[in-house]
Structure 1
Amino acid sequence: MKWPWSRSTETRSSIADPVTAQLFGIATTATGDTITPETAESISACFASVQAIAETIGTLPLHLYRRKGEDREKATDHPLYGVLHHQPNELQTALEFREQMTAAVLLRGNAYAEIHWDGAGNVEALTPIHPGRVTVLKLPSGRIAYDVNEDNGRVRRLLQDEVLHLKDRSENGITGRSRIQIARETIGLANAQQQHGGKTFANGARLSGVLQTPHQMTAESLQRLATSWRSQFTGTDNAGKTAILENGLTYQQVGMSLEDAQWIAAQQFSVEQVARIYRVPPTMIGDLRHGNFSNSVEMSRVFVTMTLRRWLVMWEQAISRALLPPLARKQLFAEHSVEGLLRGDAKSRADFYASGIDAGWLLPSEARRLENLPTVEGIDHARQAADASPAPTV
């Protein structure tokens, strides 16, 4: 199988025009930094937010179901089931494919995969295409075309029925908007703070100062002094050393320390800002300043219901639209299984199952199945018989 990319065409920092830059996935900020998906992911809070969503969706079971009256059953005999649940192409597992596609949407606003159909009209493989190689066009007929830049410089056109297209919120209904571009000032500020910290520590974990002397110095002596100072007192290895000055030299710091500038507090605020962009609870990306056992469990539930829901529905509806013919959509549908994320601790699960069994909307066999326990023949009938038996008289 031909792999569709080996390089990215997104990072072209020489493009000065902001509008043109955004077309290539590049966003400039007030700090002067150029923000791309790659630079955004260098910020730990951004990387953790993207990974929290992409990894979770990649590991969730994704099943293809067949409607059966008012009930449903897994369509394990359908070719699409294996593509979605096991292996979408020769080089990737289902986890790797869905994690990659989800991360592309989160960082770039769009994700594309070429659909390979067999002679019977079934999907036999899905191959991801790097978003930086794709140009989306609306044809006079109203349908969508995707021009893909190949390694040999040629452009290969794929039609709407040949591409699985996932997208974030859109303004034109055709392509999604990149959250990195929309929130580039927030990402740029976090990136600038990170660079500031790195450069400050590289210079000895102190802001700049001045060396003063009442004597006149030649250009040669100034150069020798600068070289000697940098070699002895800059860099983290030299932090904290005591400087020995001679010939009337004095050192005066002309700035604030990292603590005075509240740099650490600004870094923590950036974590909250980035988490807000992706609507990820801060506790999910390692910010436990306001976390405890009780609200961390609740935040896990919020993560499923408020954060993941949008992306899960995006996947399910895109599969129905792009991978199932119109007639098949009436019988088949894809759905993620999120019960495992909502189970909670053992006591909470036991109370949940007990209340469902007592109320009559859950069978003991179903509870055992949710816990991945082996089947016990007749367990439902035994429970029903126990419920139907009269209470002992006193």
Structure 2
Amino acid sequence: MRWPWQKKETRDNDPSWAALIPSGTSAGLPVSPGNAETISTVFSCVQSIAETIGGLPLLVYRQEDNGDRVRASDHSLYRVLHDQPNERQTALEFREQLTAHVLLWGNGYAEIKSDAAGNVTSLEPIHPQNVTVLKLPSGRIRYDVADPTTGKMRALLADEVLHLKDRTDNGIVGKSRIQVAREMLGGVLASQEHGNKAWANGARLSGVLQTDNVMTNESIGRLRESWEQQFSGYGNTGKTAILENGLKYAQLSMSNEDAQWLESRQFSVEEICRIFRVPPVLVADLRHANFSNSVEMNRWFVTHTLRRWLTMWEEGCERALLGPIARKRFFVEHNVEGLLRGDSTGRAAFYQSGIAAGWLLKSEARTLENLPALEGIDDAAQADAA
């Protein structure tokens, strides 16, 4: 339903809306977030980022007057972000879901539920295919949400929606990486379908049956049907064909090896990893991996891949879930220490250097290792400092 004063509303070339419709490609196959995930590398890249983001603790901190920062576990938002954002999901499930939405659709949405005092009580995820982002003549943003069962629309204002987005051209909606790379992904889907059909035909390539005898249309059709029933499909692989009446079989198509089909499939792994900026070693492409560069790739993943998505969550939550006054004292931040800890030898050297230099206490090192506190363990260090 559109009211008279809303005639000038515009979607502003909303890429999230465009992502709803599978886009045709020169490879002949449409590409959408749904069928793109049938490509194992796309699914693995999305999972590598989404499940890592979802598994990291997202904490609310309070800045004290003396400059110290402490966990604000008594803040109402702490429970929503760290423990349970709604009645049906854990924090991991919710943040994994919204991160995957942004990676595939360019945008992730959640409805903000608040109490009478304005405190956020829950976050309800909304699938991007049910959301249309509209810019009102006043410049304000409105989110039209369709009920997937009834089709009824309801409107949410900007302060009622947590909106996370990928890179944007208009500052309103994010661009879907699937749609941006649809031509390349269409080629991958076509290659995948080619391989599937090769197996469906018994992993044999096409050819022709030749004869010097004259055949009627009826006999040609009967021969084709009989041939396909006996020799087509992986269940008929290996059967021996018996040719009668002077029939000869001649292969027409070149083999998969000649077409370098396997090589193109392997190259598509690297292409898709470039879209999501995920090191190939993290999606089980171990051709160029060894122990040394695998450890370094994990650090690269945190620094260059996850940083963008971590910052998106932190700044998005602060903007949408904390008021202007609250933002002066409270802030949201992930704890990524676990991802950067390295092996036990490296951590031991790190702690030893910190304790020796005086900027790290033994008790703090035990806390970082999730070990129980030991009474008096810091007494000697504090005495030396005195």
Q: Shorter-normalised TM-score: what interval?
A: over 0.9
How far off its partner does 1:20 sit?
A: 11
Amino acid at match of 2:220: L
Question: Is contact 1:25–1:37 with CA below 8 Å preserved after alignment?
Answer: no
The residue aligned with 2:44 is: 48
1:258 is paired with a residue whose SS is coil
**SS of equivalent to 1:146:** strand
Which of 287, 311, 314 is the aligned partner of 1:313? 311
* Shift in Å, 1:388: 6.6
Q: How many angstroms does 1:89 deviate by?
A: 0.7
- CA-to-aligned-CA distance 1:212-246 (integer Å, 9 cap, x gap): 11111223322222122112222122223332212
Matched residue of 1:246: which SS? coil
2:128 partner letter:
P
Distance apart, 1:25 and its partner CA = 4.5
8 A Cα contact 1:25 1:181, kept in partner: no
Give the counterpart of 2:60 among 57, 64, 69: 64
Q: Give the TM-score of the pair, scaled to structure 2.
A: 0.92
The question of 1:238 aligning with 2:220 is answered no
SS at match of 1:140: coil
SS in 1 for 2:325: helix
Kept in 2, the 8 Å contact 1:21–1:27? The answer is no
- Alignment deviations for residues 279-313 of structure 1 (CA, whole Å, 9 cap, x no partner): 00000011111111111111111111111110000
Q: Counterpart of 1:136 in structure 2: which amino acid?
A: V
1:87 is displaced (CA, Å) by 0.7
SS of the counterpart of 1:53? helix
- Structure 1 residues 362 and 20: CA distance shift in structure 2, 3 A: closer
Question: When the two structures are superposed, what TM-score results if normalisation uses the length of structure 1?
Answer: 0.90
Amino acid in the other structure paired with 1:184: R
| 1:31–1:189 Cα contact (<8 Å) kept | yes
Deviation at 1:153, TM superposition (A): 3.1
In structure 1, the residue matched to 2:10 is: none
Across the aligned residues of Structure 1 and Structure 2, the Cα RMSD in angstroms comes to: 1.7
Of the three residues 250, 253, 260, the one matched with 1:252 is 250
Structure 2 unmatched runs, 5+:
1-14
Q: 5+ residue gaps in structure 1? A: 1-18, 390-394
Query: How many Å separate the matches in 1 of 2:371 and 2:250?
Result: 71
Instruction: Write out per-residue CA displacement over residues 327-378 of structure 1, whole angstroms, 9 at most, x where no aligned residue.
Output: 1011111111111111111111111111222222222111111110001122
Amino acid in the other structure paired with 1:66: R
Match among 358, 361, 364 for residue 360 of structure 1:
358
Farther-moved stretch of structure 1 (20-29 vs 204-213): 20-29
Tell me the SS of whatever aligns to 1:112: strand
In the TM superposition, what whole-angstrom CA distance separates every residue of 1:223-273 from its partner, at most 9, and x where no partner exists? 222122112222122223332212111111111111111111100000100
Rounded to whole Å, the distance in 2 between the matches of 1:134 and 1:20 is: 8
Alignment partner of 1:29 is 2:25: yes
The aligned counterpart of 2:297 is 299
Match of 1:187 among 185, 188, 198: 185
Structure 1 segment 47-126 matched on structure 2, within 5 A:
47-68=43-64, 69-126=66-123
Q: Once the 2 structures are TM-superposed, how far is the Cα of residue 154 of structure 1 from its aligned partner?
A: 2.6
Contact 2:109 2:162 in 1 (8 A): yes
RCO comparison, higher one (Cα < 8 Å, 6+): 2
Distance in 1 (CA, whole Å) between partners of 2:235 and 2:255 is 18
State the 4+ residue runs in structure 1 displaced beyond 3 angstroms.
none
Native 8 Å contact 1:206 1:258 kept in 2: no
Which secondary structure state, in structure 1, belongs to the residue aligned with residue 116 of structure 2? coil
User: CA shift at 1:23, angstroms?
Assistant: 5.8
Identify the range of structure 1 (106-115 vs 222-231) with the bigger mean alpha-carbon deviation. Answer: 222-231
Distance 1:342 1:214 in 2: 73
C-alpha separation in 1, matches of 2:301 and 2:381: 36
> Partner amino acid for 2:40?
S
Partner SS for 2:350: helix
For residue 158 of structure 1, report the CA deviation from its aligned partner.
Answer: 0.6
Deviation at 1:139, TM superposition (A): 2.2
Separation (CA, whole Å) in 2 of partners of 1:130 and 1:76: 30
For 1:220, give the aligned amino acid: E
Q: Partner letter of residue 181 of structure 2?
A: A
Q: Which amino acid aligns with 1:173?
A: G
Contact 2:16 2:129 in 1 (8 A): no
Q: Within 2, Cα distance between the matches of 1:25 and 1:112?
A: 19
Distance in 2, Cα, partners of 1:166 & 1:388: 47
Aligned twin of 2:282: 284
Of 323-332 and 344-353, the range deviating more from structure 2: 344-353
Take 1:338 and 1:256, find their aligned partners in 2: how far apart are those partners? 51
AA partner of residue 113 (structure 2): H
Which residue of structure 1 lines up, in the alignment, with residue 223 of structure 2?
225
SS at match of 2:359: coil
User: Share of identical aligned residues, percent?
Assistant: 64
